[in-house]
Each structure stands twice: as structure tokens, then as C-alpha cells.
Amino acid sequence: MNMRIPILKLNDILIVSLQWELDDQTAIQFQEDLLKKLHDTSAKGVVIDLTPIDFIDSFIAKVLGDVISMSGLMGAKVVITGIQPAVAITLIELGIRLENVMTALDLENGMDKLQQELEA
Amino acid sequence: MAYRSSVDIHTEWDIVAARQLGRNEAKKVGFGTVDQARITTAISELARNIYLYAGAGKIEIERLNEGGLFGIAIIASDEGPGIPDVRKVMEDGYSTSGGLGAGMPGVKRLMDDFRVDTERGKGTKITAIKWLR
Ligand SMILES: Nc1ncnc2c1ncn2[C@@H]1O[C@H](COP(=O)(O)OP(=O)(O)OP(=O)(O)O)[C@@H](O)[C@H]1O
Ligand SMILES: [Mg+2]
């Protein structure tokens, strides 16, 4: 049952595309896998694409927020892409503000934004 | 006539099953994508609270039709420890488990009606309703 989320590497950027609904175990596993991969590859940036995700609850929001903070501690910048309108609305109503989080409309824009950040 | 279905909550996987049931029921009632997300999120919060704080319980989903007004009710019930101070858990950021403390106040904002019945040592029953507009 426990599916691992694939983490791809392109130059010094890690790319994660969430393709299915996250259960708690998979979310925690992803957090560990991503930090390990950051450590092993010395990647400087991460793009997490949420395009297919149709809801985010407080638990997943916490995991995502933690992943971003932890990646920051390891010297990597994170961009979140593809947040659907329904997800944005429910997150705000839940009272969750992903403040200071870099976001972009889609994966392509996210890659561009990250490249610019890393060159700056 | 009200149609009711339910998922027993014992494991983390049951949280996934409950929200999938809720999303399907919400679709059948005719809710749009934003309300579907609200309902799914609310179920996820209530189911996880059952799993975390009561150990076990159940999520019931009821399709409502009250005089031509359609809606969906989420009934989350458990026989856990109960909630000692309901006012406190409705505050944003209050958590006894290191969570964000967003669940209870969040569900109240996501849904139209929200009611908590709880008794210390006996359990908790939360009813949350969304009406179709
Ligand atoms: N069914 C329940 N039985 C007993 N206590 C509960 C129950 N549901 C919630 N609580 C209590 O209410 C508090 C607040 O719940 P709420 O869902 O708002 O936040 P959380 O679960 O701590 O964090 P989050 O939901 O943001 O991950 C919990 O920390 C817990 O102490
Ligand atoms: Mg909660």
C-alpha cells in the first residue's frame, strides 16, 4: 500500500510531481526521502508540483511547510507549483497561510523562477 | 429521504477511505469542485482527529434533502476521551499534539453548520453540514 513518491534530478534541481492523493505515511516518507536526496545530491533547489492534488488538509500542509523549512536549513530553495483554485481557497479557509513560500503557476514557471533565484 | 453511508476509522488508511466516500457523495449531491474540496478537507480533519485522539470511531455521510434544499452532513463520532474545553479547541493554533491546530476551527469555516456534542470520558460527536446553493 505504501507508495514512494519519485524524486527526479535535473542539473542541481530536484523535481517532485505529486500524482495521487497523499496518505499520512506516504507524506512522512516523502519528507525523509527528499531530505536524504538533498543531502546525497547537494541539489540547490526543489520544485514540488501539486497540479493533480485536489485538496490539502492541515496534516499535509504541515508536512509541506516542514519540508520547505528543512530544505531551507539544508541550503536548498523550494518552489511549489500548480496549486488548484479549490486547494488555495480551502487552505485559506483552514487558516493556513504558506507565507514566505515561493510559488508558481506551473512546473515550467517554477523551474524558471528557481533558476533565477539560484543565479541571483 | 436521507441516504447515509459510513466508514469505520481504525487506521490511517480509513482516513483516506472516508474522504473518498465523502468526495463521491458530494459529487452525487451536485457540489462543484471548490465545495467538494471543502467537504473532503473537513472529513479528513475530523477523521484524523478521531484516529489521533479517540483511537477509533466512525465517519457517516448523509445526503440531505430538506424541503428541496440539498446538502451533505458529516457526522464524526467516537467513544474517546471527549473534549474538556470546546471553546479552546475552536481557537486557531490550539493543539495538544504539535499539529497546526487548524482542524476544528478550519472545519467550522469550511462548512455551513457545525455542532460539537462531547462528554468527558464518553466521547465526541461532531456534525458538520454543507448546503448546496
Ligand atoms: N475527537 C476528539 N476527541 C478528543 N479530543 C479531540 C478530538 N478532536 C479534537 N480534539 C482535541 O482538540 C484539539 C484541536 O484539534 P484540531 O483538529 O483543531 O487541531 P490538531 O488536531 O491538534 O492539529 P491539526 O488538525 O491542525 O493537525 C486537539 O489537539 C485535541 O486535543
Ligand atoms: Mg486535527
Provide the grid cell at B130.
Answer: 454543507
Cα A50 to averaged position of ligand 1 atoms, centre (Å): 26
In which domain, by residue range, is B86 found? Answer: 4-131
Closest CA to A76 of A35, A120, A44, A41: A44
Q: Which residues of B touch A26 (CB under 8 A)?
A: none
Q: Treating both helix axes as pointing N-terminal to C-terminal, what angle do B33-49 and B103-110 enclose, rounded to 10 degrees? A: 150
Q: Which of A24, A25, A93 to mutate to test the interface with B (most CBs of B within 10 A)?
A: A93
CATH class of A7-119: alpha beta
Counting one residue from chain A and one from chain B, the pairs whose CB atoms sit within 8 A come to: 74
Identify the bridge partners of residue A79 per DSSP, sorted by sequence position: A47, A102
pLDDT score of B1:
55
Provide the grid cell at A118.
Answer: 539560484
A24 touches chain B (CB under 8 A): yes
Domain ranges (residues) in chain A:
7-119
pLDDT score of B115:
98
ipTM of the complex: 0.90
Phi, psi of B60 (to 5 degrees): -110, 140
Residues 6+ apart with CB under 8 A from A64: A48, A56, A80, A98
pLDDT at A1 over 60: no
Q: pLDDT for B111-132, tens place per residue?
A: 999 999 999 999 999 999 999 9
Q: Which residues of A touch B21 (CB under 8 A)?
A: none
Q: pLDDT for A4-29, tens place per residue?
A: 899 999 999 999 998 888 888 899 99
A57 touches chain B (CB under 8 A): yes
What is each CA distance from B107 to A30, B10, B21, B113, in whole angstroms?
Answer: 26, 21, 17, 10
Q: Which CATH number characterizes residue B116's domain?
A: 3.30.565.10
Structural domain count, chain B: 1
Q: pLDDT for A24-65, tens place per residue?
A: 889 999 999 999 999 999 999 999 999 999 999 999 999 999
User: Cα–Cα distance between B36 and A10 in angstroms, integer?
Assistant: 35
Residues near ligand 1 (Cβ within 6 A): A 58-59; B 45, 49-50, 53-54, 78, 80-81, 83, 89, 94-97, 99-104, 124
CB contact under 8 A, B48 and A55: no
The residue nearest atom 31 of ligand 1, judged by CA position, is: B96
Q: pLDDT for B61-84, tens place per residue?
A: 999 999 999 999 999 999 999 999
